[in-house]
Amino acid sequence: MTERVRAQYEAHPYPPRDPRDEAKRLIEGSPSHLLEINHYVFAGRRDFAQPFRALVAGGGTGDGTIMLAQHLADRGGPAEVTYLDVSGAARAIAEARARQRNLTNIRFLTGSLLELPTLAPGPYDYIDCCGVLHHLPDPAAGLTMLTVALKDDGGIGLMVYGALGRTGVYHLQAILRRLCGDEPDAARLDLARRLLKQLPPTNWFARNPFLQDHLKVGEAGLYDLLLHSQDRAYTVPELNALVGSAGLAIAGLIEPWRYDPASYLSDGALLKRLSSLDRLERAAMAELLAGNMKVHICYAVKAGRAATAVARPRDATMIPVLRDGSGAESAKTLKPGGSLTVRAEGLEARFALPRLAGPILARIDGRRTLADIHADLAASEGARFEWPAFAEEFNRLYGVFNAVNKMFLSHDNKP
- Judge whether 341 and 350 are in contact, CB under 8 Å: yes
Looking at residue 335, what is its pLDDT? Answer: 76
For the chain, the domains span 3-161+234-305, 169-226, 319-410
Q: What is the pLDDT averaged over residues 65-93?
A: 97
* Residue 385 or 130, more confident: 130
The pLDDT confidence band at residue 90, using thresholds 50, 70 and 90, is very high
Cα gap 23→366, rounded to integer Å: 26
Write out pLDDT tens, residues 189-248.
999 999 999 999 999 999 999 998 888 889 999 999 999 999 999 999 999 999 999 999
* Residues 308-319 as b or e (16 or more Cβ within 10 Å = b): ebbbebebeebb
Q: What is the pLDDT averaged over residues 159-182?
A: 96
**Residue 259 to residues 58, 154, 282, Cα–Cα distance (Å):** 26, 24, 7
CATH superfamily, region 3-161+234-305: Vaccinia Virus protein VP39 (3.40.50.150)
The pLDDT confidence band at residue 249, using thresholds 50, 70 and 90, is very high
Cα gap 157→250, rounded to integer Å: 10
384 has a pLDDT exceeding 80: no
Q: 198 burial class (0-12, 13-18, 19+ CB within 10 angstroms)?
A: exposed
Q: What is the pLDDT averaged over residues 139-160?
A: 97
Average pLDDT along the chain: 94
> Strands 150-161, 295-302: parallel, antiparallel or unpaired by DSSP?
antiparallel
Write out pLDDT tens, residues 269-295.
999 999 999 999 999 999 999 999 999
**Model pTM?**
0.95
